[in-house]
Amino acid sequence: MAEVLVFHHGQGLTTGVREFAEQLRQAGHTVHAPDLYEGQVFDTLEEGLTYAGNTGFATITARGTTAAEKLPAELVYVGFSLGTLPAQKLAQTRPGAKGALLLESCVPVSKFGGAWPQDVPVQIHGMDADPYFAGEGDVDAARALVETATDAELFLYPGDRHLFTDSSLRSYDEQAAKQVAHRVLGFLDRVE
């Protein structure tokens, strides 16, 4: 089974993110889900992003790096939206990464110093009309990553919701989230 490090999105370590982590545990994986917001959970994405902006996105990413340092290097990194910053950074720069699952966000690989490591498989999931994922260029970064990486997949789901994978939020899309979970579990079984 895989050892997985899950980073939450901009609203914090919500019940839905915890449930996702538990779903992976129930499948037999070892899962860590650190709280990058030090106990803060926000009712809206705007409030959470304001907190992240005031704290500093570099600080939030550094908290993720610190959490990873306490764990073995052979991890699969999972990031929900904002959480893809530390997930993608660690998958690209920390030797030993087993894979990356980027949910609802992807940044250009150049942000973290260059090319995607050829031995690190990656899956990216997002909605095709999500104003953040599709509207702010993340889908373009995802497509570029898929074109250059050896083992990369991009899955687009119909819809315009952001954070559609978090079962505790109003933006949750049960059908799409079930597809994501199925593909994530298949990915983890493949990279263990």
Q: What is the pLDDT of residue 114?
A: 81
* Structural domain count, the chain: 1
Domain that holds residue 143: 3-191
For 50-60, the pLDDT digits (tens) are 999 999 999 99
What percentage of the chain has pLDDT greater than the value 70? 100
| pTM of this structure | 0.97
Give the CATH number for residue 9: 3.40.50.1820
SS3 letters across the chain: CCEEEEECECCECCHHHHHHHHHHHHCCCEEECCCCCCCCECCCHHHHHHHHHHHCHHHHHHHHHHHHHCCCCCCEEEEEHHHHHHHHHHHHHCCCCCEEEEECCCCCHHHHCCCCCCCCCEEEEEECCCCCCCCCCHHHHHHHHHHHCCCEEEEEECCCCCCCCCCCCCCCCHHHHHHHHHHHHHHHHHHC
Q: Tell me the mean pLDDT in the region 83-92.
A: 97
